[in-house]
Amino acid sequence: MIKKRVSSESGQSIVLLALAFIALLGFTALAIDGGLVYANRRHMQNAADAASLSGGSAAALYLENHDIAYRDWDCNDPDVVDAMHSDPDGAKAVARSSGVANDYLLDDDDSDNHGVFAGCVEAYDNGAWIEKFIDVRVRITGDTPTAFAHLVYNGPLRNTVEAVTRVKPPMPLAFGNAIVALGNDCTHDGIEFDGGVGTDVTGGGIYSNSCLYTGGDGDVIVEAPFDISCSLPNCYTDSGGSGTISPTPEEGLGRKIAAAAFAVPGPNCTGLTDHGTYNGDGSLEPGRYDRITINNGAHTMDPGLYCVTNNVSITGGTLVGSDVTFYIIGGDYDSSGNATISLTAPPAENCADPCTIYRAIPGVLIYLAYGNTGEVSMLGDENSEYLGLVFVPDGTIEAGGSSSLIAEIHAQLIGKRVKVHGNTSININFDDSMNYVLPASLQLQK
């Protein structure tokens, strides 16, 4: 009898289990080492961000303390150089100290991907304005100790991260343009010059986020080296008349001024003395008012902040105020060519008691609150003067009129819409040291 051999499959499951165990071990190793690499990279990125921001903050503080602003920016200025490189207060030194606090010893040069770089830049942004800033760049490179990967891979598991903080110096709103229209709609917004007597602008340019119109017989002249420009293609229109505009407007710059370039924080009116309605007793004190009406007589404003719920109307008489800010919440500022008006904002720099005790805003003269679609009408006789920022983000600014001849406006006019019209000679002598200044700012770029 022939016996048949029956093959046995016993033991094959052990082989399969061994292979499965190896696969599971591999996945476990991948999960553990991958988690270690990710966690280490996250820690490195946090350290790079912290070092870059610390260095940027040090540079911003140095610029503020040494009065280095946009108007006098020079990358070769010793103070600008020190803001980047001085020890121990400059950007690079402070960034390196932050790196040490997070267990990273950084070089004074990031060309090896493990150090700190600080550089000064002056560059045209699409030809519209000059960007001036310091970049503080931090790069960190590090190896991750592994639990299993070294068994199959001899090289390091290496991460390199980067962080860049951009430091912009203190600067005037809207890059120092003297007349600015914020609105984007050419149908309703823009800048319009329409009068029989000219407008002369010194110390700043004219810029519209939408369109620009001229008409009438008055010339519009912006003194060199400043220019006239608008954002959209074919945005300048000459509506007729014998007046000229100089220099020729630059059209279609392609980029609008960003909101951050003209943002002014609103003041806090809470707790100020409530004076109700002012109808003219000769003296005004800082505080909250329902409305202010002046028809005749002589009136003086004490330094400080004036929060007005409704209208400010000045149709006659004399109004004089130094170190004052009008903050109009829901109405207009309406003045007449029959009045003599001399108003001065608190100084933009080194503002003392009016800004701290009485809450006036440094450099700001008239401010229509966000959401207020009202109008600021800047009129007055030949002895009238305005000094400071006139800021109307959602409304209209009108300068001029048939019976007024304003002697001088040392002001920056920023509105959703701006109109200069009538038979009025307007001399806008813009000095950004007198007007509102944006503080030095930081932006984490990367």
Q: Between β-strands 340-344 and 385-400, what pairing exists: parallel, antiparallel or unpaired?
A: parallel
158 and 226 in one domain?
A: no
At which of 116, 145, 169 does a domain end?
A: 169
- Segment of 110-119, 219-228, 261-270, 420-429 carrying the highest mean pLDDT: 110-119
Is residue 95 within 8 A of residue 136, CB to CB? The reply is yes
Q: Hey, what are 129's tokens?
A: 């304005």
Separation of alpha carbons 67 and 261, rounded Å: 19
415 and 333 in one domain?
A: yes
375 and 242 in one domain?
A: yes
Separation of alpha carbons 211 and 188, rounded Å: 10
**Which of 15-29, 245-259, 269-283, 334-348 bottoms out in mean pLDDT, i.e. has the lowest?**
15-29
pLDDT > 90? residue 62: yes
pLDDT > 80? residue 260: no
107 and 30 in one domain?
A: yes
Separation of alpha carbons 87 and 105, rounded Å: 16
- pLDDT tens figures, 375-406: 999 877 777 888 889 999 999 998 875 544 55
Domain membership of residue 41 (yes or no) is yes
- pLDDT tens figures, 215-252: 878 888 998 888 899 988 899 998 887 888 999 998 88
- Segment of 169-178, 266-275, 413-422 carrying the highest mean pLDDT: 266-275
pLDDT at 30: 61
Q: Hey, what are 200's tokens?
A: 């002369």
pLDDT at 280: 79
Backbone angles phi, psi at 46, to 5 degrees: -60, -40
Label residue 97 exposed, middle or buried (CB < 10 Å: 0-12, 13-18, 19+).
middle
144 and 218 in one domain?
A: no
Proportion of the chain above pLDDT 70, given as a percent:
83
pLDDT at 286: 96
What range does the domain containing 208 cover?
175-437
Q: Hey, what are 149's tokens?
A: 């990967």
Report the 10 Å Cβ neighbour count for 112. Answer: 9
Separation of alpha carbons 397 and 410, rounded Å: 15
Domain membership of residue 207 (yes or no) is yes
196 and 242 in one domain?
A: yes
360 and 263 in one domain?
A: yes
185 and 123 in one domain?
A: no
Confidence band of 52 (pLDDT split at 50, 70, 90): very high
Coil, helix or strand for 324?
Answer: strand
Domain membership of residue 195 (yes or no) is yes
pLDDT at 131: 82
Domains in the chain: how many in total? Answer: 2
Average pLDDT score over the chain? 84
pLDDT > 60? residue 170: yes
Strand-pair partners of 278: 292
425 and 379 in one domain?
A: yes
**Which of 117-126, 370-379, 402-411 bottoms out in mean pLDDT, i.e. has the lowest?**
402-411
**Which of 140-154, 307-321, 355-369 bottoms out in mean pLDDT, i.e. has the lowest?**
140-154
Task: For residue 40, give Cα distances in angstroms to 32, 45, 303.
Answer: 12, 9, 56
Separation of alpha carbons 342 and 446, rounded Å: 48
The amino acid sitting at 375 is E
Domain membership of residue 442 (yes or no) is no
At which of 114, 138, 169 does a domain end?
A: 169
Proportion of the chain above pLDDT 90, given as a percent:
45
Mean pLDDT value across residues 357-369: 92
Mean pLDDT value across residues 36-60: 90
Task: For residue 286, give Cα distances in angstroms to 52, 120, 129, 327, 360.
Answer: 43, 43, 38, 11, 9
Separation of alpha carbons 409 and 386, rounded Å: 5
Mean pLDDT value across residues 24-52: 77
Domain membership of residue 403 (yes or no) is yes
391 and 263 in one domain?
A: yes
Q: Hey, what are 8's tokens?
A: 């046995």
pLDDT at 274: 96
Domain membership of residue 341 (yes or no) is yes
pLDDT > 70? residue 432: no
Question: Given the structure tokens 């912006």, which residue do they identify?
Answer: 222
404 and 369 in one domain?
A: yes
Mean pLDDT value across residues 132-160: 79
pLDDT > 80? residue 27: no
- pLDDT tens figures, 327-342: 999 999 998 778 889 9
Instruction: Return the ∠ at Cα 445 (arms to 231 and 142), rounded to 5°.
Output: 160
* 294-318 CB burial, b ≥16 within 10 A, e <16: beeeebebbbbbbbbebbbbbebbb
Domain membership of residue 249 (yes or no) is yes
Q: Between β-strands 324-328 and 304-308, what pairing exists: parallel, antiparallel or unpaired?
A: parallel
The amino acid sitting at 287 is G
Closest among 302, 265, 267, 307 to 287, alpha carbons compared = 307
At which of 135, 151, 169 does a domain end?
A: 169
Q: Hey, what are 86's tokens?
A: 């001085």
165 and 237 in one domain?
A: no
- pLDDT tens figures, 272-294: 999 999 987 889 999 999 999 99
Domain membership of residue 285 (yes or no) is yes
